[in-house]
Chain A
Amino acid sequence: MPEVAVRLVGVSKRFGTTVAVDHLDLEIARGEFFAILGPSGCGKTTTLRIVAGLEQPTAGEVQVGGNVVTNLPPYRRNIGMVFQDYALFPHMTVVNNIAFGLRMKGWPASRIESRVKALLDLIRLPHIGDRFPNQLSGGQQQRVALARALAPEPAVLLLDEPLSNLDLKLRQEMRLEIRRIQRELGVTTIFVTHDQGEALSLSDRVMVMREGRVSQVGSPVELYEHPGNSWVASFLGDANLFRGALRSDSGQTLLTTESGLAFRLPAGQHAEMTNATATVAIRPESVRLFAEDADIDGQTGSTFVGYVENFAYVGAGTRYVVRFEKAPSQEVLVDISEPGVPWRDGTRVPGCFPVERWIIRDDCSTWVERTQSIARRRVALGLSPAARLELLAEPPHRLELLKS
């Protein structure tokens, strides 16, 4: 068991009646690059600010480096933070910005000087020490903010959407830069982002948050290839979701949608769920398309025939929207990485969903569906004791949503 650098135990944060963070438990190992990923308003920034001490949790405990810091102000926590807008001090030069934390620690001037120099070298901007923040480009400001946060050798580095104010090219460059610096120093890092690409490419582990709760925690590969539910699947990259009834058929599991499509799923753990309703997902790049006259009977998986509804050439490949011939109300996204654009609008294409590429199957995974079903039951039964119990079991903010 590696040493735990940051631990949150049952942390909650309410702002008035809204719950920003809901009973969060979290352990981050020393040296780990940990990303918190989620849509805006999911509580990820609040979580980071609770670790920093900029917010007080309503309930729960925060530990940094084995010490309980729940009630300590930020300046006693030995953390470094990079803000979304960098928050460089506009009235100080780069050197003074970076030296600020060291001065607060009471370092002697000579040590500060050499440390600042070392950091400027680390961020590969040794010549900008005398400039003021408004004389720097966005990328330079970003690096200086990173150096400033790292200068006092914090136990944890907190990054609050640090790349979101940069343009695309710079963002990709800075991703690598941040990863390099983090590896070089081995500092425990918590990185908050809404950009799944950033989270996947940078981190050792990712926590996906939604509505103040953890949706899933895991390595990037786990999350992308084995998402815990359809919401995670569609939040991390694109996913084709299909909803239908499960049926067991001679050792195979089949899902039949209302529109009449049938998909063959991997056998095994799904068998016992016969006749349950489920949502399944498959990535666009997992779906295969064939030439119009190809023989698809030999393919292992669910074959289908569709028409190209639309396509977008993106350079590295082409994205297709294909409408099912059998179920014209449904379509599927397909990414093809062959060069050129093999099919045009209106082309009839055969295709296949390989059995082993289905990434998820969940029954009432997303709470939207769940609350919808609760609401439906409530309408159907009046307020039956069971429905009442279900409703009472819901956290209050979900009840709010139910009411609306």
Chain B
Amino acid sequence: MREPWPRRLERYLINAYVLFICAFIMAPILVVVLSSFQYGQYLAYPIERYSLRWYTEALFRPEWRNALTQSLRLAVQTTVYATVAGILAGLALHYHDFRGKQALSVGFLSPLLMPELLTGLALLFYFANFGISGTYTALLLGHVLLALPYVIRLVLTALPRVSRNAEEAAMTLGANEFVTMMKITLPLISPAIRGGAVFAFMVSYNNVLLSLFLSTPRVTTLPVKIYQHVEFVADPTIAAVSTIFLILTFALMVALERTVKLEVMPVVEEYRK
């Protein structure tokens, strides 16, 4: 049986629109990957000769390698600190009733509402005032601040879904509060914790603006390096560096998907304000 033509037309239009949006979103990412295989010194199209020479260039230049390792180290540390602090905050807001609780939960999420530009500016002056600007610690603290609200929000949405009875059952079976938390509560919200950790990692790993404010030529991250390079010149080297950067992101996502069944939904929910 054939669909009536208005329905078919509608379906075609919808498909075309979805394709257009997908192309629009993916185009800049794909074109970066494509350009990285160019042989020539300058970005020129159509690409006449393909090569991997810019990858060797990127990988053998210590400045890129250092920036990448610093980015990764920063992201891992940010993830650990933000996740621990976020879980603690979530537990505090979930298990205790106190005055000003509502205000506090808004306060915990407020860094999300503040433009990063202002946060960066504030931290720059503040750290300079304490004489720790330009250090790795300053960068780490800034990233933890940005990542923390994401973890808190995910943990807070997951905790009410944990059955209080399961926790009480564990206690009647001889588990004290801490063991109950470690064996029952946290495992039951682990999708949210993993989602929060992924977010924390991505926030830190991909961050440009705040890092730009807090970095120095020596203490820097890969996105900042890429930014500074692009500001100066856009060439195939930077495309190769960006591609390596991207591949690491996707490799991490795929690894997480494989090992811990990362669900996309809590991540999407995260942005539903």
With known contacts A90-B188, A91-B188, A74–B171 Cβ distance under 8 A? yes
Interface check A231, CB cutoff 8 A = no
Question: Are A80 and B172 within 8 A (Cβ)?
Answer: yes
Minimum CB distance partner of A83 in chain B = B165
When the two chains form their complex, are residues B176 and A73 in contact, meaning their CB atoms are under 8 A apart? yes
Q: Which residue of A lies closest to B188 (CB)?
A: A91
Separation in Å of the B127 CB from the closest CB of chain A?
42
Contact A101 B174 (CB under 8 A): yes
B166 within 8 A of A: yes
Q: How far is the CB of B189 from chain A (nearest CB, A)?
A: 10
Is A399 in contact with chain B by the CB < 8 A criterion? no
- B178-206 contacts to A, CB under 8 A, are 179, 183-184, 187-188, 190
How many Å from the CB of A55 to the closest CB on chain B?
Answer: 10
Which A residues from 191 to 230 make CB contacts under 8 A with B? Answer: none
B166 near A87 with CB under 8 A, answer yes
The majority secondary structure among interface residues of chain B is helix
Q: How far is the CA of A88 from the CA of B188 in the complex (A)?
A: 12
Chain B CB within 8 A of A52 CB: yes
The answer on a CB contact under 8 Å between A54 and B168 is: yes
Q: Which residues of A contact B184 (CB under 8 A)?
A: 89
Q: Is A149 an interface residue (CB 8 A)?
A: yes
- The CA-CA distance from A87 to B174 in the complex, in Å, is 15
Q: How far apart are the CA atoms of A105 and B190 in the complex, in Å?
A: 26
Q: How many residues of B contact A (CB 8 A)?
A: 19
- Verify if B56 is at the interface (C-beta below 8 Å from A): no
Pick from B165, B177, B183: contact of A87, CB under 8 Å:
B165
Partner of A104, one of B166, B173, B187, B188: B173
How far is A12 from B179 in the complex, measured between Cα atoms in Å? Answer: 30
A158 to B172, CA, bound (A): 10
Does B260 lie at the interface of the complex (its beta carbon under 8 Å from any beta carbon of A)? no
- B175 at interface, CB cutoff 8 A: yes
- A378 and B179 alpha carbons, distance in the complex (Å): 57
- Choose from A75, A89, A149 the contact partner of B171 (Cβ within 8 Å): A75
Q: Is the CB of A73 within 8 A of B171?
A: yes
Q: How far is the CB of B263 from chain A (nearest CB, A)?
A: 15
Kindly list chain B residues whose C-beta atoms are within 8 Å of the C-beta of A52: 168, 172
Is A85 within 8 A of B165, CB to CB?
Answer: yes
- B121 touches A (CB below 8 Å): no
28 contacts between A and B (CB under 8 A): A52-B172, A53-B171, A53-B172, A73-B171, A74-B171, A75-B172, A75-B174, A75-B176, A77-B172, A80-B172, A80-B173, A81-B172, A83-B168, A85-B163, A87-B165, A88-B166, A89-B166, A89-B169, A89-B170, A89-B184, A90-B166, A91-B188, A91-B190, A100-B175, A101-B173, A101-B174, A105-B174, A149-B172
Interface residues of A (CB under 8 A from B): 52-54, 73-75, 77, 79-81, 83-85, 87-91, 100-101, 104-105, 148-149, 151-152, 158
